[in-house]
Structure 1
Amino acid sequence: MARKNLLSGLGGLGLPAGNPDLSPASPHEPAAAIANFGGARGAIGAVTRSIEQLKANAVQDIPTESIDPSFISDRIGFDAANYADLVESIRAHGQQVPILIRPHPDKEGRYQVAYGHRRLRAAVELQRPVRAIVKRLSDDELVIAQGQENNARTDLSFIERARFAASLEQRGFERATIMAALFVDKTGLSRLISAATKIPPDIIDAIGAAPKTGRDRWIALAANLEAEASVGAVRAAMSDALMSAASSDERFNLLFSASVIKKVKPLKPKTKPSAWVAPDGKTVARIQDDKKLCTVVIDKKVAPEFGAYLIESLPELYAAFMGRESK
């Protein structure tokens, strides 16, 4: 029935719309014959194009040894537990979701992954072909497909997306392409690239994906690491024994704590007390004079009664001082 519907126009009198190869029937030739020939050609061409489109989107079994990874990585580290679950699921139920690959742009007869690297790895481990959709993609189309598939799964952490964005920019991709791949606006993309470029690569690698650590914490770490002292402190902490046993998010917290360098205000040197020596040569008092206080300390061993006398004389002294100020 489907075939009858597809070819039902073969005997029609009119040419298919948009077919420039045939002219109207000549008065010297049977119109029906020309119409039949032209109609067949147009209909068969349409069917052929439909079949080619179906083939382009059809899921195929592709030998894993003929497939190369994407030219750019979007992951940091390797989650062994999640991968083991994926392998067991494919072993038990088969590969339910195909990967997307393209004909390799530089190697005849080979393919390159747009997305589905873990499924490809699982197929290799299980020694079976991988189910894939083969599609001709430009480099821009590949990275957009790669980024959007990961966004759809909400599978990449902030720092993985940040490093992916920075790597694409370093390879010369336009920001419009990167924004399309990551579903971000200009501000969001700037934050991603800033975080990935301000944090040294070895520190990112030491932390890993940190899936539970959000944008603000990574940006705060980047700000802390603008100080050379913080970079040194973090690198020293990377060798801590706790790092090897900690999860990725715990490693972030450990290194973030190390990056916080408390700024100690330098102590202002205190002025050295000056000695007041009486005419008889005795050091009766020591005077500490700074911006806030003037302190007079009487040595009672030298002049036991002088302190009390000075206190009693303060009203007269102050009155004399004020009288001098009024003149």
Structure 2
Amino acid sequence: MKRKDALRAALGARSVEPAPELPAGNPGATVEPPPEAPRPLVRSGAVGAMGRSLGRIASAAAEARAMVASGDRVVELDPGLIDGSFVKDRLSGDQQEHAAFVELIRERGQQVPILVRPHPSTEGRYQVAYGHRRLRAAAELGRPVRAVVKALTDEDLVVAQGQENSARADLSYIERALFAIALEDRGFDRATIMAALAVEKTQLSRLIGIGRAVPPQVVAAVGPAPKAGRPRWTALVEALAREGAGEAVTRILAAPDFSELSSDDRFARLLGGLTAKAPQPAPTPAVWTNLGGRPVVRIERDPKRTQLTIDDTLEPDFAAYLIQSLPQLYAAFAESKTRDETD
């Protein structure tokens, strides 16, 4: 099943239906013709954030055109009439990337419509299924937002919201986990959550288990960490369960430069700080005393070496004697080893 067909099936669209009529009296609500195919943007020296925003718009444009071609009408709505989804699916994003996204829409216009439903409890208003960033950008630019309006149940909305983000790989691992937890806490069954995130039962259990094991204050401090997948979050959960981890987390998060790092670097700092091996204390040196009780030889040993330090002020001739006696001492040592091997 193609992605657009799966999405339409998730929304309960068994036949092609036009978008519902807009409530009367909504300012700025007009019907638009289908959008033109986006033209490639050519700019020298474009920053990575701009490129990522362009890539997301291009990847969603084909689906948007397919929705319009199948009979869904695109209308223009006042962003002030649209509320966010009742379940959050994102942590705070990168401000530089958001600024690039807004600038891209300023230059090219909104190529991809958002999906909204008539608000279930407030007449004349709408609620977003997906397209929160496009809605925010339109509001910041003072423009109407282009949208497809569909009558959606709560289940339809969260499935559409989750599948749109999952299909475009927009959510990080921890954001997907928190989205799953939010749905579960609102009473959605596992089948609906699995459909929303396009995951199997075992994957969903891992997502929820990891999401619930990471303290909310840690998630808030680290952020989405887009480069950290399941293995690294699993490693963090294991590290957080160790004795003394709480004090270490508090110390790491309180570092003056921690908040200045990128989200991925904050994650790496935290995981590294919790898993780094503590330095082993140096062994206490032993002391050999002569018959008079004087500490003539200081003995320091570690797994790789043994060091003897002789105090010449206490026994001026002992070091020289020891050096001269090394051949005889080694011969006696070798003979003792031979006896031990033959006994």
Matched, 1:185 2:200: yes
- Picking from 173, 183, 202, the partner of 1:168 is 183
Question: Does residue 54 in structure 1 map to residue 18 in structure 2?
Answer: yes
Q: Which residue of 2 aligns with 1:230?
A: 245
- Within-5 A mapping of 1:257-276: 257-260=272-275, 262=277
Among 254, 258, 267, the alignment partner of 1:239 is: 254
> Is residue 125 from structure 1 mapped to residue 89 from structure 2 by the alignment?
no
Higher RCO by CA contacts (8 Å cutoff, separation 6 or greater): 2
Q: Cα distance, 1:225 vs. partner?
A: 1.1
Paired with 1:128 and 1:246, the residues of 2 have a C-alpha distance of: 33
1:142 aligns with 2:142: no
Task: Look up the match of 1:5.
Answer: none
Q: How is 1:153-164 mapped onto 2 (pairs within 5 angstroms)?
A: 153-164=168-179
**Which residue of 1 is the match for residue 58 of structure 2?**
none
Of 92, 95, 100, 2:110 maps to: 95
Q: Please, what TM-score do these two structures have when normalized by structure 1?
A: 0.63
Return the letter of the residue paired with 1:178.
Answer: I
Question: Within the alignment, does 1:251 sit opposite 2:266 as a pair?
Answer: yes
**Deviation at residue 262 of structure 1 after TM alignment:** 4.8
Between the aligned partners of 1:231 and 1:132, the Cα distance in structure 2 is 46
| CA displacement at 1:244 relative to structure 2 | 2.2
Call closer, same or farther: CA 1:128–1:259 in 2, change over 3 Å. same
Answering whether residue 228 of structure 2 is matched by residue 213 of structure 1, we say yes
Q: What's the counterpart of residue 83 of structure 1?
A: 98
In 2, the alpha carbon distance for the partners of 1:188 and 1:59 equals 36
Which amino acid in 2 is paired with 1:141? D
Report if aligned partners of 1:230, 1:261 keep a CA contact under 8 Å in 2: no
The answer to whether the 8 Å contact 1:230/1:258 transfers is: no
Q: 1:90 to 1:263 in 2, by over 3 A?
A: closer
Q: Hey, which bits of structure 1, 4+ residues long, moved more than 4 A?
A: 261-265
Alpha-carbon distance, 1:228 to partner: 4.8
SS at 1:102's partner residue?
A: strand
2:28 aligned residue: none
Instruction: State the Cα distance separating 1:107 from its structure 2 match.
Output: 0.9
- Give the Cα–Cα distance (whole angstroms) in 2 for the partners of residues 180 and 263 of structure 1: 44
Please list the CA deviations of residues 158-179 of structure 1 after superposition, one character each: whole Å capped at 9, or x if unmatched.
Answer: 1111111111111111111111
Distance 1:231 1:96, change over 3 A: same
Q: Which structure 1 segments of 5+ residues have no match?
A: 1-51, 266-327
Other structure's SS at 1:100 match: strand
Structure 2's unaligned 5+ residue stretches are: 1-15, 21-71, 281-343
1:261 Cα deviation after fit:
6.8
Query: In 2, Cα distance between the equivalents of 1:84 and 1:264?
Result: 44
Instruction: Tell me by how many angstroms 1:231 deviates.
Output: 2.4
Q: Is the 8 A contact 1:230 1:260 kept in 2?
A: no
Larger Rg: 1
Residue 249 of structure 2 aligns with an amino acid whose one-letter code is: V
State the SS of the aligned residue for 2:254: coil
- Compute the displacement of 1:227 (Å): 2.8
Whole-angstrom distance in 1 between the partners of 2:147 and 2:258: 39
Residues 63-86 of structure 1 deviation map (CA, whole Å, 9 limit, x = unaligned): 111100001111111211221122
**Structure 1 partner of 2:42:** none
- Note closer, same or farther for the CA distance 1:263–1:90 as it changes in structure 2 (3 Å cut): closer
Per-residue deviation, 1:183: 0.7
Contact 2:19 2:150 in 1 (8 A): no
Alpha-carbon distance change, 263 to 83 in structure 1, aligned in 2, over 3 angstroms: closer
CA distance in 2, matches of 1:62, 1:230: 49
Judge conservation of contact 1:158–1:215 (CA < 8 Å) in 2.
yes
The answer as to whether partners of 1:224 and 1:260 remain within 8 angstroms in 2 is: yes
1:221 aligned partner, one-letter code:
L
Residues 204, 228 of structure 1: alpha-carbon distance in 2 compared, 3 angstrom cutoff: farther
Q: Answer whether contact 1:101 1:133 (CA < 8 A) is retained.
A: yes
| Aligned counterpart, 1:107 | 122
Q: CA deviation at 1:256?
A: 0.7
SS in 2 for 1:184: coil
User: Secondary structure of the residue that 2:17 maps to in structure 1?
Assistant: helix
Give the deviation of 1:88 after TM superposition: 1.4
Report the 3-state secondary structure (helix = DSSP H, G, I; strand = E; otherwise coil) of the residue aligned with 1:241. coil
Contact 1:100–1:133 at 8 Å: present in 2 too? yes
